[in-house]
Amino acid sequence: MTTISACGGGGGGGGGGGGSASASSSTTTSYAGLIGQPIQFDSASVDASWAVTDAGVTYALNNVANNGVEAPTLVAPGSGGSGKAMLYQANSYTGAATTQRVEHYTATAQSLSGGMRYYGWDFKLDAGDSYPANWVILHQFRQEGDSGSPIGALELVPGVGSWKLQFLVRNTDYYFIDSTNGPSGNSLTIWTDTVTAGSWHRFVIGFRPDASASGTGQVQLWLDGVQVKDWTGKLGFPASFLGKTIYGTYNAHVGIYRAAQNQVLHYSIDNYRRTTVASGAI
């Protein structure tokens, strides 16, 4: 069995070959250019450490900050009206801790020079929840080492009275390291849009970091099958940036990571996949 964790157990988080593959699931789906296995949750399980295992692959939890967060649970139906999905839940929290986290590694030790990779999944927010009052990350790409905040992240925008998404990137101009912002700010917002809670949506991120001065990194975004952004620029950090130990690899996480706040958040996901071609993720 392969385990995907911060240690890169079994090498399961690395890049992979192309071609199509299918998951061991009651709703078997093939995705062009598939890397590894899709996570379709229909036959998945969650163990006592909150790791999720699906189709023979175990996805470890990323540093749980159990401050009012619930263990991930498998719920029915999934995004297609049958099968199962994964539900993440963060409850209202007013304690001393500053963050709440319940998210899984979906890829580790991805090379910054490894080319474009596409990360796609279905998601649903609960219409009965209150809008966030502070930052909330739903999916992030974190460069390994002392790189501070993620180099790419899908977030909920707080304090706007709607379910508004945004995608942020960080580089040598925009960063948050050692509680200090970069010369141009904490992060660069490259896209925003509003979604409807209570309905399933499909989100796809094409992600290719490049920390060189030439700035040829790329982020492509699709929402519900429509491409909404194609951005290029510097993405990530070079080794020894600001004297830090920073590696040329990154990890991908999905789940809830947020500032502690007095709102409940339910976030369901289904059909998570990584591919080498856009069509396989869309």
% of the chain surpassing 90 pLDDT: 78
Domain residues for the domain of 74 are 60-281
Answer yes or no: is pLDDT of 110 > 60: yes
Q: Please report whether residue 158 resides in a domain.
A: yes
Q: Which CATH number is 102's domain given?
A: 2.60.120.200
Q: Is residue 13 part of a domain?
A: no
pLDDT bucket at 29, cuts 50 / 70 / 90:
low
In a domain? residue 103: yes
Spatial separation of the C-alpha atoms in residues 280 and 156, rounded to whole Å = 26
- Express each pLDDT in 147-201 by its tens digit: 889 999 999 999 999 999 999 999 999 999 988 999 999 999 999 999 999 999 9
Joined together, the tokens standing for residue 151 give 């180099």
Is the predicted pLDDT of residue 25 greater than 50, yes or no? no
Number of structural domains the chain divides into? 1
Taking the CB of residue 254, how many other CB atoms lie within 10 A of it?
26
pLDDT, tens digit (0-9, with 9 covering 90-100), for 200-215: 999 999 999 998 878 7
pLDDT at 28: 46
Whether residue 32 is contained in a domain is answered as: no
Q: What is the pLDDT of residue 150?
A: 97
- Judged by phi (left if over 0) then psi (alpha if -120 to 50, else beta), residue 112 lies in alpha
In a domain, 50, yes or no: no
Output the average pLDDT for the chain.
89
Report the pLDDT value the prediction gives residue 83, as an integer from 0 to 100: 95
pLDDT at 228: 98
- Report whether 233 contacts 173 (CB < 8 A): no
Residue 27 lies in a domain: no
| 162 occurs within a structural domain | yes
Identify the band that residue 239 occupies on the pLDDT scale cut at 50, 70 and 90: very high
Share of the chain above pLDDT 70, in %: 90
pLDDT at residue 95 greater than cutoff 90: no
Residue 157 lies in a domain: yes
